[in-house]
Amino acid sequence: MTIRLARNSGFCFGVKRAINLAGEAAEKYPETVTLGPIIHNPQMVTNLESKGIMAIDSIDLIAGRPVIIRSHGIAKEKMRFLETLDVPLIDATCPYVSSSQLYATQLSQQGYPLIIIGNKDHPEVVALQSYVEENEVYIISSVAEIPRKKFTKLAVLCQTTQNVTTLQEIVYDLIPIAKELRVINTICTATTVRQQSTFQLAQESDVMIVIGGKNSSNTRMLYQICKKLVVTHLIETSDELECSWLSNKQNIGLTAGASTPDWIIVEVYNKITKCLGDKEEPIVNVESIPGYKEESNARQ
Ligand code: F3S
């Protein structure tokens, strides 16, 4: 019987950075707000609330408090408006997301119609779209949504948590309809390595447990990858894990999204060992889980 964690599971560089910036803000100010959840993990958002960092969903609710810009970024007009307010601004936008926004601005200034591959309702994509100037922009998530027309020139950007296979499929079908095609692969490295290591572990497992916010795009992507290969369950916390999922399974695989805190991964691991009748003391660090590999804090 094995229980293994996919390499590169849990917090990515951008999320660690956002949480650190929020922690510094909590020490400096008695109360701070984030426009929307700072990351897509409800348990972490609750944890931050206990430190005086409140998620609000409207600029009208700022009430003079310092504002943290979440890792997914916010729309350009909202950012410009916030800059006119007399409140401290802490920009925790992930540098990968800022980089996509810069590409959107530059490519639209160069006259490229744009295709953004992603979920049109996701805050990162909504924000990214706001950086496209007057140009045509299409937000699509599959080959079926490619516009049925010809382009003299066309540029492609992606939501940072997209799947590289989807990007490849869409680009393949765009080549015949665009005379000039510029593709910027804005999928972040943290996403790619999580998807690769999860794919590999899922191939070697009898069941996969994906841990992360159900509102987290990158977590849901890991779930999609696993469920094509093996029986897979998506949970936010250990309370949702059912021992019956593990019966007759020899190789249990765990993976976690880029916004899943270590403590939740540890709780799930301990619940699994309890389900399996292990009498050992529970572990306290994610480093104790076989397969864990620490990721560099440096931008990848
Ligand atoms: Fe940034 Fe990629 Fe994480 S975009 S927030 S490093 S998943």
Tell me the pLDDT tens digit for each residue of 112-164. Answer: 999 999 999 999 999 999 999 988 999 999 999 999 999 999 999 999 999 89
Q: Look at residue 295 in the predicted model and tell me its pLDDT.
A: 66
| 219-255: burial string, b at 16+ Cβ within 10 Å, e else | bbbbbebbeebbebbbbbebeebeeebbeebeebbbb
Per-residue pLDDT at 296 exceeds 60: no
Give the residue among 208, 196, 274 at the shortest CA–CA distance from 235: 208
Q: Identify residue 139 by its one-letter amino acid code.
A: I
pTM of the complete model: 0.88
Ligand 1 atom closest to the Cα of residue 189 is 2
**Catalytic positions, written as ranges:** 124
Per-residue pLDDT at 106 exceeds 50: yes
Band of residue 299 on the pLDDT scale cut at 50, 70, 90 = very low
Band of residue 280 on the pLDDT scale cut at 50, 70, 90 = confident
Q: How much is the average pLDDT of 81-101? A: 96
CA distance 287 to 271: 16
What ranges in the chain are assigned the alpha helix state H? 13-28, 42-49, 76-84, 95-109, 123-130, 164-174, 189-203, 217-227, 262-275
Ligand 1 centroid – CA 284 distance (Å)? 26
Token pair belonging to 265: 């991964």
Q: Identify residue 81 by its one-letter amino acid code.
A: F
What is the number of residues in the chain? 300
Band of residue 278 on the pLDDT scale cut at 50, 70, 90 = confident
In contact, 72 and 122? CB cutoff 8 Å: yes
Q: How much is the average pLDDT of 274-291? A: 90
Query: Chain-centre distance of CA 195, in angstroms?
Result: 11
Long-range pairs, 144-148, Cβ under 8 A, ≥24: 146/115, 146/170, 146/173, 146/174, 146/177
Ligand 1 centroid – CA 235 distance (Å)? 21
Give the residue among 159, 262, 161 at the shortest CA–CA distance from 219: 161
Does residue 15's CB lie within 6 angstroms of at least one atom of ligand 1?
Answer: yes
Q: Identify residue 263 by its one-letter amino acid code.
A: W
- Residue 242 C-beta-side C-alpha neighbours within 13 Å: 5
Does residue 39's CB lie within 6 angstroms of at least one atom of ligand 1?
Answer: no
Ligand 1 centroid – CA 108 distance (Å)? 24
Give the residue among 190, 188, 162, 217 at the shortest CA–CA distance from 296: 190
CA distance 224 to 141: 14
Taking the chain, what is the end-to-end CA distance rounded to the nearest angstrom? Answer: 34
The preferred substitution site among 38, 44, 93, 94 for testing ligand 1, maximizing ligand atoms within 8 Å of CB, is 94
Mean pLDDT, the chain, integer: 94
Does residue 160's CB lie within 6 angstroms of at least one atom of ligand 1?
Answer: yes
